Structure 1
Amino acid sequence: MKSIADYVALEPEYYQNILDNYQTLFTQHIDLSKIKQLNSIVIFATGSSSNAAYGARSLMSKILKVPVYIEDPSIAANYLHYSDPNTLYFAISQGGESYSTIHLVEEFIKNNQTIYTLTSNPNSPLYKVSNHVLSMGIPIEEMPYVSAGYSVTILDLILISLVIAQKNGNLNEQQFNSYLDQLQKVTHLLPKVIEQSQMWVNQYQNQFYHAKRVIFIGYGATYGVAREGETKFTETVRNTAFGKELEEYMHGPYLGLHEDDHIVFLEPHGQLAQRANLLKVFLDKYVKNVSTIYANNSNNLKEEDLCLNVDIDELYASLFMTVPVHLLSYQVSRLKGHNLEKSTYPEFDEITSSKIKRI
C-alpha cells in the first residue's frame, strides 16, 4: 500500500494529468442550460473534502463572482431546505462511501433537483445513486488518510469554476488562459515544494513528536489548509490538533492557549498578513513554539519557519501549502509507531454505518 508521502510525491503528476484533461472531465459534463443567472454555489462535503472546499472557495468566488457556501451534508439533508433553481449544487466524496453525502444526494434526486457529485471511485455507492457524476481525474487513493485526493479536489473545484465561468460568459479566452497559466505554474513548482517541505519536516519532526497540542492558523485559502492540518494531525498522530481561521482564533480561542502549544501559521502573503503578524507578536510573549509556513519569502524569517518560494497570488496557496502539513503528520505518526494501513478502531464503521461500502 502506498503511504501518505508516496501520494504527496504523485501530486505533480496528478495535477498535470487533470490540467491536460479538464475538458473531458468537466466541460463536457456541466450543463448550465437551466440556469438563467447563477446566484451561488453550494458544496456539500465532510472531512478532508470539506477542508479542500474551503481551500478552493476564495478563488472560486473570485472567478464566478458569486458566493460559495460549504455545508455539512448531514445537517443539509435533515434540517435545511434548498430550492433555488439558479444555484449550482455539488457533493464531494473521494471514496464515494460517506453515508451523509450519499443520503443528501438521494434526497436531492428524490426532489428532482440537480446535484453534481465529485468522486474518484466509479464503483462506489455515491457514483451509483448519482445522476450527474464528475470524475476527480485520479485513481482511487489506497491510503485511508487521503493526501493527494485532498489536493486534487482543490484543483478540480477551481477548474470546475473556470469551466462554469467560461460557459456563462464571465471569462473571455484570455482571462481563462491566464488562470490556467497560474495553475500550470503551481504544478511546475510542486516538486520543489515537496523537496523543501521534506527537508523542513526532517529537521523539526521531533519537536512536533513531543507536542501536546498543535494549532494551525490560516486565512483566506489557507483556512482550508489549517482545517486539513487539524484533520490529518488528529487522524494520523492521534494527538490534539486544531485548525482555526485567523480572526476566529483571535476572538476567543486564544484565551485557552498554553505555554507549550505548538502554533503553526500558514501565511499566503495575503490581505490579512499584517493581522497575522500582530497575533504572532502577542503569541511570542506567551508561547514557546510559534512557526510559520510561508508561500514565498519573508523579511521576518525565523529559524523554525519554512519558505516555499512560490511567488503567486494568495488565492492559489491551498494548492501547495498543505504539502508540509501532510508530510509532517505522516512522519510524526511514524515516530509514534502508528500503522496507518490498519484502522485504529475497525469496529467503528460497522457500528455507526459512517461508510457505506455497497448498495
Structure 2
Amino acid sequence: MKNIEDYVYLEPKLYADVIKNREPLFSNRFNSANVSGIDSIVLYATGSSANAAFAAAPFMSHVLHMPVQVEEPSFAANYGLFTNRHTLYIAISQGGHSYSTIHVVEELQKKGHLVYVLTSDPTSPISNIGQNILDMGMPIEEMPYVSAGYSVTILDLMLISLELQSTKETIFDIDKYVNRINHVIEEMPAAIKRASNWVNQQIPRLNEASRVIFIGYGAGYGVAREGETKITETVRITAQGKELEEYMHGPYLGLHQDDDIFFIEPQGRLQKRAVLLKNFLSEHVKSIQTIYSSFSPEASVNDLMLELDTDELLTSLFLTTPIHLLAYRWSQLKGHDLTVSAYPDFDKITGSKI
C-alpha cells in the first residue's frame, strides 16, 4: 500500500495526467444550455475535500467573477438548503462514501436542481445516485488519509472553473492559466525536495509539541485547514487551522507559549497583515515558522521557501506538500500505523460513511 509520502511524490505526475486529459474529463460537461444564467457556485464537501474546496475557491471566484461558497453538506441538507435556480452546485466526495454529501445530493436532485458530483470512484454510492458525475481523473487513493486526492481536487476545481468560463460569450485567455498551472507542475519536484529537507530539520524539534496552529489567507486558508486535518488524523495531537483575520478576532487569546505556529504564505495581497500578526506573536510564542510559496528576503532560518514563483491563487497546488510530508514523517516517529484505523468501529456506529 502506498503511504502519504509516496502520494506526495506522485502529485506532479497525477497533475500532469489530469491536465493531459482535461478535455475528456470536463469538456462538454458544461454548456450554455445547462449553466446559462448561473451567477454563483456552492461547493459541498467535508474533511479534506472541504479543505481542497476552500483552497480552490479564490481561483474559481476570480476566473468566473462570481461568488464561490463552501458549505457543510449536513448543515445545508438539514437546516439551510435554501436553493437558488441560478446557483451551480458541486458535491465533492473523493471516495464517494460520505453519508452527508450523498444526502445533500439526493435532496438537491429531488428539488430538480443541477448538481455535479466530483469523485474518484465511479462505482461508489455517490456515483450510483448522482445524475451528473465528474471523474477526478486519478486512481482511487489507497491510503485512507488522503493527500494526493486532496491536491487533485484543487486542480480539478480550477479546471472546472476554466471550463465554465469557456461557456460564456466573453473573451478569456484560458491557455494563460493552463500554462501557469503547467509551470507549477514542472517546478514541483524541486519544491518537494525543498519541503522534504525542511521537514527533516523540523521533525526532531517538533516531536515534543503538544499543539500546532496553521494560519493562512486566500488560497492558503484551505491549506491551513488541511494542516489541522492531517496533523490531527495522523500525529493525533491538537491542531488548528485558521484564516488570518479569523485568528485575529478571538483565537489569539488562547495562545500558549509553547504553541508551534505555522504561517501559510502565498505571498499575496494580505502578506502585510500576516507580518503584523507575526510581529505580535513573536513576543508571546517561542516557535513561529512560515511556509513561503516563493523566495522571501524576510525568511528566517526555520522558515521554508518553496521558491516556486506563481500567481498567489495557484499556490494551493503545492503549499500543502510540506504539511503532508510533515504529517506522515511525524506520525511514523510517533509509531502510528496509518494503514490501520485508530477507531475501526467509528463508521459502523455513527454511519458517517456508506
Output aligned runs, 1:82-121, within 5 Å: 82-121=82-121
Separation (CA, whole Å) in 1 of partners of 2:160 and 2:35: 16
Deviation at 1:3, TM superposition (A): 0.2
1:18 counterpart letter in structure 2: V
TM-score, structure 1 normalization: 0.97
For structure 1, list consecutive stretches of 5 or more residues without a partner in the other structure: none
Separation (CA, whole Å) in 2 of partners of 1:83 and 1:303: 50
Deviation at 1:325, TM superposition (A): 0.4
1:95 counterpart letter in structure 2: G
1:330 to 328, 331, 341: 328
Name the counterpart of 1:187.
185
SS in 2 for 1:266: strand
Map Cα deviations across residues 11-54 of structure 1 (whole Å, 9 max, x no partner): 00000011011110011222441443221000000000000000
Separation (CA, whole Å) in 2 of partners of 1:257 and 1:326: 24
Deviation at 1:108, TM superposition (A): 1.4
SS in 2 for 1:117: strand
1:249 counterpart letter in structure 2: Y
Name the counterpart of 1:2.
2
Are 2:126 and 1:126 equivalent residues in the alignment?
yes
On the 8 A contact 2:40/2:88 being kept in 1, the answer is: yes
Separation (CA, whole Å) in 1 of partners of 2:34 and 2:57: 23
Are 2:299 and 1:301 equivalent residues in the alignment?
yes
Name the counterpart of 2:62.
62
Deviation at 1:84, TM superposition (A): 1.9
On the 8 A contact 2:162/2:174 being kept in 1, the answer is: yes
Query: CA 1:32 to 1:96, structure 2 compared with 1: closer, same or farther past 3 Å?
Result: farther
Separation (CA, whole Å) in 2 of partners of 1:66 and 1:144: 34
Residues 205-214 or 46-55, more deviating:
205-214
Name the counterpart of 1:275.
273
Residues 108-117 or 10-19, more deviating:
108-117
On the 8 A contact 1:45/1:93 being kept in 2, the answer is: yes
On the 8 A contact 1:200/1:306 being kept in 2, the answer is: yes
Name the counterpart of 1:47.
47
Name the counterpart of 1:288.
286
Separation (CA, whole Å) in 1 of partners of 2:36 and 2:300: 52
SS in 1 for 2:95: coil
Separation (CA, whole Å) in 2 of partners of 1:17 and 1:126: 24
Name the counterpart of 2:226.
228
Separation (CA, whole Å) in 1 of partners of 2:231 and 2:150: 14
Separation (CA, whole Å) in 1 of partners of 2:171 and 2:83: 27
Are 2:14 and 1:14 equivalent residues in the alignment?
yes
Deviation at 1:166, TM superposition (A): 0.7
2:315 to 314, 317, 328: 317
Name the counterpart of 2:145.
145
Deviation at 1:170, TM superposition (A): 4.0
On the 8 A contact 2:90/2:117 being kept in 1, the answer is: yes
Residues 30-39 or 243-252, more deviating:
30-39
Deviation at 1:105, TM superposition (A): 0.8
Separation (CA, whole Å) in 1 of partners of 2:262 and 2:237: 15
On the 8 A contact 1:165/1:171 being kept in 2, the answer is: no
Q: What RMSD in Å do the two structures reach over aligned CA positions?
A: 0.9
SS in 1 for 2:33: coil
1:145 counterpart letter in structure 2: Y
Separation (CA, whole Å) in 1 of partners of 2:229 and 2:122: 25
Residues 136-145 or 203-212, more deviating:
203-212
SS in 1 for 2:297: coil
Deviation at 1:195, TM superposition (A): 0.7
Map Cα deviations across residues 301-352 of structure 1 (whole Å, 9 max, x no partner): 1110000001111111100000000000110000000000000000000100
Query: CA 1:171 to 1:200, structure 2 compared with 1: closer, same or farther past 3 Å?
Result: farther
SS in 2 for 1:33: helix
Separation (CA, whole Å) in 1 of partners of 2:104 and 2:62: 27
Separation (CA, whole Å) in 1 of partners of 2:216 and 2:109: 36
Residues 336-345 or 186-195, more deviating:
186-195
On the 8 A contact 2:119/2:133 being kept in 1, the answer is: yes
Aligned length: 354
Separation (CA, whole Å) in 2 of partners of 1:35 and 1:321: 32
TM-score, structure 2 normalization: 0.98
Name the counterpart of 1:155.
155
Separation (CA, whole Å) in 2 of partners of 1:136 and 1:231: 21
Are 2:73 and 1:76 equivalent residues in the alignment?
no
2:285 counterpart letter in structure 1: V
Deviation at 1:193, TM superposition (A): 1.1
Separation (CA, whole Å) in 2 of partners of 1:210 and 1:292: 20
Deviation at 1:208, TM superposition (A): 1.9
SS in 2 for 1:95: coil
Separation (CA, whole Å) in 1 of partners of 2:170 and 2:282: 45
